[in-house]
Amino acid sequence: MLHQLSWKVGGQQGEGIESTGEIFSMAMNRLGYHLYGYRHFSSRIKGGHTNNKITVRPTEVRSIADDLDILVAFDQETIEVNYKELTEKSVILADAKFNPVKPEDSKAPLFIVPFTEIATELGTSLMKNMVAIGATSALLNLRTSVFQSVVDEIFGRKGEEVVKKNMEAIQRGFDMMSELLGDRVGEWELAPADGKRRMFMIGNDAIALGALAAGSRFMAAYPITPASEIMEYLIKKLPKFGGAVIQTEDEIAAATMAIGANYGGVRSFTASAGPGLSLMMEAIGLSGMTEQPLVIVDTQRGGPSTGLPTKQEQSDLMAMFYGTHGEIPKVVIAPSTLEEAFFDTIQAFNIAEELQLPVIIMTDLQLSLGKQTTEPFDYSKIEIRRGKIAFDELEPAENKDYFKRYENTEDGISTRVFPGTANGIHHVTGVEHDETGKPSEAAGNREVQMDKRFRKLEKLNFNTPVYTNAPHEDADVLLVGFNSTRGALEEVQERLTTEGVKVNHAHIRLLFPFPSEEMASLVNRAKKVIVVENNKTAQLANILKMNIGGHNKTHSITKYDGTPFLPRELENKVKELLD
Partner 1 sequence: MATFKDFRNSVKPNWCPGCGDFSVQAAIQRAAANVGIEPHELAVVAGIGCSGRIAGYINSYGFHGIHGRALPIAQGLKMANRDLNVIASGGDGDGFAIGMAHTVHAIRRNIDVTYVVMDNQIYGLTKGQTSPRSAQGFITKSTPGGAIEPSLKPLEVALSAGATFVAQGFSTDIKELTALIEAGIQHKGFSFINVFSPCVTYNKINTYEWFKEHLTKLADIEGYDAQNRELAMQTVMEKEGLVTGIIYQDLETKSYQEKVPGYSEQPLSELDMNLSEGQFNDLVKEFM
Q: How far is the CB of 341 from partner 1 (least distance, A)?
A: 13
Interface pick for partner 1 out of 135, 246, 332, 530 (rule CB under 8 A):
246
Which lies closer to partner 1 via its Cβ, residue 290 or residue 314?
290
Cis peptide before 564 (omega within 30 of 0): no
Residue from 111, 129, 170 nearest 11 by CA? 129
Neighbouring residues of 25: CB distance < 8 A, sequence distance ≥ 6? 35, 37, 54, 200, 371
Q: Within 21-80, which residues bind partner 1 (CB under 8 A)?
A: 29
Span near partner 1 by CB under 8 A; candidates 236-244, 318-326, 489-497, 504-512: 236-244
CB nearer to partner 1: pick between 1 and 422: 422
Under rule CB under 8 A, which residues in 206-225 are in contact with partner 1?
209, 212-215, 217-218, 220
Q: Does 260 bind partner 1 (CB under 8 A)?
A: yes
Q: Would you tell me the crossing angle of helices 228-237 and 203-213 to the nearest 10 degrees? A: 40
Binding span for partner 1 by CB under 8 A among 99-107, 361-369, 400-408, 546-554:
400-408
Q: Is 281 in the site for partner 1 (CB under 8 A)?
A: no
3-state SS, one letter per residue, for 288-328: HHHCCCEEEEEEECECCCCCECCCCCCCCHHHHHHCCCCCC
Interface stretch with partner 1, choices 160-168, 247-255, 440-448, 542-550 (CB under 8 A) = 247-255
Identity of the residue, 263 or 406, whose beta carbon is nearer to partner 1 in the bound complex: 263
Of 5-13, 47-55, 242-250, 329-337, the segment contacting partner 1 by CB under 8 A is 242-250
- 331: contact with partner 1 by CB under 8 A: no
- Beta carbon nearer to partner 1, 238 or 526: 238
Q: Contacting partner 1 (CB under 8 A), which of 2, 126, 185, 266?
A: 266
Q: Which residues pair with 404 in a beta bridge?
A: none
As measured in angstroms, the least distance from the Cβ of 325 to partner 1 is 11
Q: Which of 61, 86, 169, 201 binds partner 1 (CB under 8 A)?
A: 201
518-557: contacts with partner 1 (CB under 8 A): none
CA angle 308, 559, 367 (to 5 degrees): 65
Contact status: 264 vs partner 1 (CB under 8 A):
yes
Q: Of these, 321, 377, 454, 462, which contacts partner 1 (CB under 8 A)?
A: 377
- Span of 136-144, 255-263, 471-479, 527-535 interacting with partner 1 by CB under 8 A: 255-263
157: left (phi over 0), alpha (psi -120 to 50) or beta: alpha
Instruction: Tell me the site size for partner 1, rule CB under 8 A.
Output: 73
- The answer to whether 372 touches 336, Cβ cutoff 8 Å, is no
Contact letters for partner 1, residues 412-431 (x by CB under 8 A): ------xxxxxxxxxxxxxx
Q: How far is CA 222 from the centre of its chain?
A: 18
Task: Spell out, one character per residue from 431 to 470, where the chain touches partner 1: x when CB under 8 A holds, - when not.
Answer: x-----xxx-------------------------------
Taking the C-alpha atoms of residue 193 and residue 422, their distance in angstroms, rounded to an integer, is: 61
Q: Which of 334, 343, 341 is nearest to 362 (CA)?
A: 334
Cis before 471? omega within 30: no
Q: Which is nearer to partner 1, 338 or 523 (CB)?
A: 338
In this complex, which beta carbon is closest to partner 1, that of residue 26 or of residue 180?
26
**Cβ nearer to partner 1, comparing 103 with 260:** 260
The nearer residue to partner 1, 100 or 424, going by C-beta atoms, is 424
> Count of CB atoms within 10 A of residue 463's CB?
14
| CB closer to partner 1, 251 vs 533 | 251
SS3 (DSSP) at 286: helix
Residues paired with 531 in a beta bridge = 480, 556
d(CA 74, CA 245): 38
Q: What whole-number distance in Å separates Cα of residue 299 and Cα of residue 277?
A: 10
C-beta of 237: minimal distance to partner 1 in Å?
7
CA nearest to 65, candidates 516, 409, 493, 567: 567
Three-state DSSP at 358 gives strand
Q: Pick out residues in 116-145 that bind partner 1 (CB under 8 A).
A: none
